Structure 1
Amino acid sequence: MATTIKKTMAKDQKDARQSVEVLKRITGGAKPQDAVVFQVEGTSISVPRKAVLLLEKVLDEMADGRSVEIASYSKELSTQEAADLLKVSRPHLVKLLETGKIPYKKVGPRRRVLLEDVKKYDSLLRETRNSALDKLVREAQEMGLGY
């Protein structure tokens, strides 16, 4: 499930900028395992620090006028959900599964993929791409191509 904030109005940007500054001061001294306690209309709300950091990031993006999307996923994904997450077609994802690049299991006739495995594959792919790009840049510099 995804929630999107597409267009941030000027007033929202200003409010977001002020809010993110306050949140950064609050979370700056907190330990990673600490919850952050807010007082709202006389009621204490204990919020996990990770959630506050996520809110801080959302507000930071809004303050810059960017669109923001927050998505939540199950631990186990359908092939279409996994393909959407990787931004590839479902048939391409099925090839990745069948060649063993991403582990999966079958539930009846359907394939199921663990979110953790999809993230591992995506991370490995990004590392491979970055490594190849770094190599190309080094070679271009050695050849004096102006990069």
Structure 2
Amino acid sequence: MGAGMNHTVLPPATDDRDLLAALKAVLTGHEQVSISTPEGSVPLPDSVLGLLVDAVTALDQGQAVTVEPHRTVLTTQEAAELLGITRPTLVRLLEAGKIPYTSPGRHRRVELADVLEYLQRERVRRGQVFDEMAHEETPDPGDATDGFVSTR
């Protein structure tokens, strides 16, 4: 799955936005969505349907969409790039047990699903930390004095 398989779609002209809205309504409806061909009808799997909903929603919001295939087993360098960290930092996470890995030979391999799960856990953890910080009461240094803080 080389770089040549990437496919970017630009948002349509404003004239076609009504078509996107109609397509999104069909995709997000409560009925099974199928593709019809002269040979018959094929139902869309939930994973493909979700991908289409995300793509149509982004296009409807005026964003470009890129579909890029990923292997399901990654090297440490590929996993680090996906997480936006250095390879040595990823290796420390692996050795700390934060992301599972295998070593079929000399090199570590990481499952894409495990990397994505770690990414989601980190997003949730960071959100909780930000919420805690927002609700923390930090005493104002000016309250304890007459408004001036000595720096020497």
TM-score, with structure 2 as normaliser: 0.71
Query: Cα gap change, 1:54/1:74 in structure 2, threshold over 3 Å: closer, same or farther?
Result: same
- 8 Å CA contact 1:4, 1:67 repeated in 2: no
Q: Percent identity?
A: 33
* Amino acid aligned to 2:119: D
- Is 1:73 the counterpart of 2:70? The answer is yes
Shift of 1:44: 4.0
Which structure has the highest strand share of the two? 1
- Is 1:24 the counterpart of 2:19? The answer is no
Which structure has the highest helix share of the two? 1
Partner of 1:134: 131
Once residues 105 and 118 of structure 1 are traced to their aligned partners in structure 2, the CA distance between those partners, rounded to angstroms, is 13
Which runs of no fewer than 5 residues in structure 1 stay unpaired?
A: none
Partner of 2:109: 112
Once residues 139 and 40 of structure 2 are traced to their aligned partners in structure 1, the CA distance between those partners, rounded to angstroms, is 63
Which runs of no fewer than 5 residues in structure 2 stay unpaired?
A: 141-152
State the superposition RMSD in angstroms: 2.7
Number of equivalences: 135
* Amino acid aligned to 2:86: S
TM-score, with structure 1 as normaliser: 0.73
Shift of 1:55: 1.6
* Amino acid aligned to 1:21: A
Shift of 1:117: 1.7
Residues 82-101 of structure 1 aligned to structure 2 (within 5 Å): 82-101=79-98
- 8 Å CA contact 1:14, 1:63 repeated in 2: no
Q: Structure 1 residues 83-92 or 47-56, which shifts more?
A: 47-56
Once residues 102 and 83 of structure 2 are traced to their aligned partners in structure 1, the CA distance between those partners, rounded to angstroms, is 18
Shift of 1:128: 1.2
Once residues 23 and 114 of structure 1 are traced to their aligned partners in structure 2, the CA distance between those partners, rounded to angstroms, is 34
Query: Cα gap change, 1:38/1:4 in structure 2, threshold over 3 Å: closer, same or farther?
Result: closer
Partner of 2:6: 3
Structure showing greater radius of gyration is 2
2:70 is paired with a residue whose SS is: coil
